[in-house]
Amino acid sequence: MLVFEQARQGRVNNAQSVKKDNMINVIPDKFKRNKRPLLPEISEMQAVRHYTRLSQKNFSIDTHFYPLGSCTMKYNPRACNQLSMLPGLLNRHPATPDSSSQGFLACMYDLQEILKDVTGMYEVSLAPMAGAQGEFAGVAMIRAYHDAQNGGKGDPDRNEILVPDAAHGTNPATAVMCNYKVKEIPTNSDGDVDIEALKAAVGPQTAGIMLTNPSTLGVFERKIKEIAGIVHDAGGLLYYDGANLNAILGKVKPGDMGFDVIHMNLHKTFSTPHGGGGPGAGPVGVSKRLEPYLPVPMVVENSGEYHVVTEKSRPQTIGRLSTFMGNAGILLRAYIYARLLGREGMHRVAEYATLNANYMLHSMQKSGFEIAYPNRRATHEFIVTLKKQAKDLGVNTMDFAKRLLDYGFHAPTTYFPLLVPECLLIEPTETETKQELDDFMAAMVEIQKEAENEPETVTTAPHTLPVRRLDDVRAAKELDLTWKG
């Protein structure tokens, strides 16, 4: 039942506010609202019960194994939430003078320093509010850099960004937002970028390349130094999509691979909450030549005092991307997480995420599942392809995914990357126990048996959730986006 259907006209919550008499009101009638908005008139308890019940209809990391590939659904430590919501931090207005904000600014400065260290980049800005905004900042900096060449006359012929065909959809969408043409680079059969195709594609029109390493295929791009050389020699810059940073944290630094600019997804690698689809946080790190263009605000330290710097002292910046200071509360959570892990904890993240992924890859291979890149080492994630099941049994990847829900597991990422047919991209993360992985794989084996013996059980799944499969065509055709009573 919708919250509106539980309402009764005239029900008010006096604990929250009381209607006061004799209020000053200088607003002329022509500016006034004359009809109340449709907000539910329910008691506080009704609201608490309604939304608690709704929450119980969700799968989440706290309740279920959630091996969503390329999303790094690892445990979100409760301490990060509690400590980031201490009153002094929670009630700080963004316009508070620096002199009254030294505690908060110290956390931001320290986080910048930590992220510089783990990425090997020259400088970091925490400004972008999500991965996609970090990408935007990155490509905007590449454009600003090229525009500043030739004594400020720019390099207008550099109008193309290269994107491997395995990339996230955000990469080409971002390049277009920065007014670049997109050229796709094919991937070879081992999952590496096709070097010959890359050599043929670069030229004086190349502004840069956007790469994810490890790639979305769950493998490490072995020829990364060669790729960096090819693109740099052509005058282009290298952009690192940090979606998969969890796989190499503390083991390899993107700066050492030759990248000029990177964004990190703190909601992945630094375990800030995914919140049902956000907020994220997408700090960017750059090499020395891109430093002047970093988005503002940033935090600097001067003899023990912290200050916010803006456009005023950074004239070449690509500017601000948010009203205030990005998703500050999320940055605090990432900072607390980083301090809990510490220096010695960072590389363990990559090690155990990789161990879990490779253990699953080999176990599933032994159970008869087809691995997309069987000759490669998995990174923190790997791909199973169910194209045989789809062809021979009429049970496809979506069916397996939906049936997994019945077994109490969130499905892995389905049908992405687009290169591999009928694929499941599986990312277990380092925080899962071997037992949980074994249970998930046992469920996959059970579903395989069902697919062989009683396929309709799988093709009509899920059977035990609050709803069965939804009519998405109707949802898009007969748009019902608001309740109308």
With CB under 8 A as the contact rule, the residue among 176, 200, 300, 442 that binds other proteins is: 176
Shortest distance (Å) from residue 385 CB to other proteins: 19
How many CA atoms, within 13 angstroms, populate the side-chain half-sphere of residue 306? 18
Binding mask 333-352 for other proteins (x = CB under 8 A): ---x-xxxxxxxxxxxx-xx
Shortest distance (Å) from residue 484 CB to other proteins: 8
The reply to whether 315 sits near other proteins by the rule CB under 8 A is: no
Collapsed DSSP state (helix, strand, coil) of residue 112: helix
Binding mask 356-385 for other proteins (x = CB under 8 A): x-xx-xxx--x---------xx--------
Q: Which is nearer to other proteins, 174 or 388 (CB)?
A: 174
Shortest distance (Å) from residue 391 CB to other proteins: 24
Question: CA dist 127 to 71, 121, 183, 343, Å?
Answer: 21, 16, 28, 24
Tell me the sheet residues that pair with 182.
161
The reply to whether 93 sits near other proteins by the rule CB under 8 A is: yes
Q: Which residues in 229-268 contact other proteins (CB under 8 A)?
A: 248, 250-253, 256-257, 267
With CB under 8 A as the contact rule, the residue among 67, 109, 135, 443 that binds other proteins is: 135
With CB under 8 A as the contact rule, the residue among 209, 227, 411, 443 that binds other proteins is: 411
Shortest distance (Å) from residue 10 CB to other proteins: 9
With CB under 8 A as the contact rule, the residue among 44, 196, 305, 452 that binds other proteins is: 44
With CB under 8 A as the contact rule, the residue among 197, 320, 407, 421 that binds other proteins is: 320
Residue 331 neighbours by CB distance under 10 Å: 25
Stretch that binds other proteins, among 233-241, 384-392, 399-407, 447-455 (CB under 8 A): 399-407
User: What tokens does 20 get?
Assistant: 């006061």
Stretch that binds other proteins, among 231-239, 353-361, 384-392, 419-427 (CB under 8 A): 353-361
The reply to whether 31 sits near other proteins by the rule CB under 8 A is: yes
Residue 265 neighbours by CB distance under 10 Å: 25
Q: Which is nearer to other proteins, 188 or 433 (CB)?
A: 433
With CB under 8 A as the contact rule, the residue among 67, 73, 239, 287 that binds other proteins is: 73
Block residue for tokens 């400020």? 152
The reply to whether 403 sits near other proteins by the rule CB under 8 A is: no
| Secondary structure, 3-state, 158-198 | CCEEEEECCCCCHHHHHHHHCCCEEEEECECCCCCECHHHH
Shortest distance (Å) from residue 449 CB to other proteins: 22
Phi, psi for residue 404 in degrees, rounded to 5: -60, -35
With CB under 8 A as the contact rule, the residue among 28, 151, 152, 156 that binds other proteins is: 28
With CB under 8 A as the contact rule, the residue among 279, 292, 421, 455 that binds other proteins is: 279
Distance CA 51, CA 3 (A): 9
Shortest distance (Å) from residue 282 CB to other proteins: 9
* Cα-Cα end-to-end distance for the chain: 12
Distance CA 264, CA 120 (A): 12
CA dihedral 255, 80, 358, 461 (to 10 degrees): -130
Shortest distance (Å) from residue 101 CB to other proteins: 6
Q: Which residues in 196-215 contact other proteins (CB under 8 A)?
A: none
Shortest distance (Å) from residue 333 CB to other proteins: 10
Phi, psi for residue 421 in degrees, rounded to 5: -70, 145
Residue 65 is given by DSSP the state B
The reply to whether 60 sits near other proteins by the rule CB under 8 A is: yes
Q: Which is nearer to other proteins, 309 or 355 (CB)?
A: 355
Distance CA 105, CA 111 (A): 10
DSSP string, 302-337: ETTEEEEE-TTT-TTS--BSSSSSSSHHHHHHHHHH
Residue 424 is given by DSSP the state E
Stretch that binds other proteins, among 50-58, 149-157, 382-390, 444-452 (CB under 8 A): 50-58
Q: Which residues in 444-463 contact other proteins (CB under 8 A)?
A: 460, 462
Contacts of 187 (CB under 8 A, 6+ apart): 164, 165, 166, 193, 194, 215, 217, 419
The reply to whether 189 sits near other proteins by the rule CB under 8 A is: no
Contacts of 370 (CB under 8 A, 6+ apart): 384, 385, 386, 387, 388
The reply to whether 104 sits near other proteins by the rule CB under 8 A is: yes
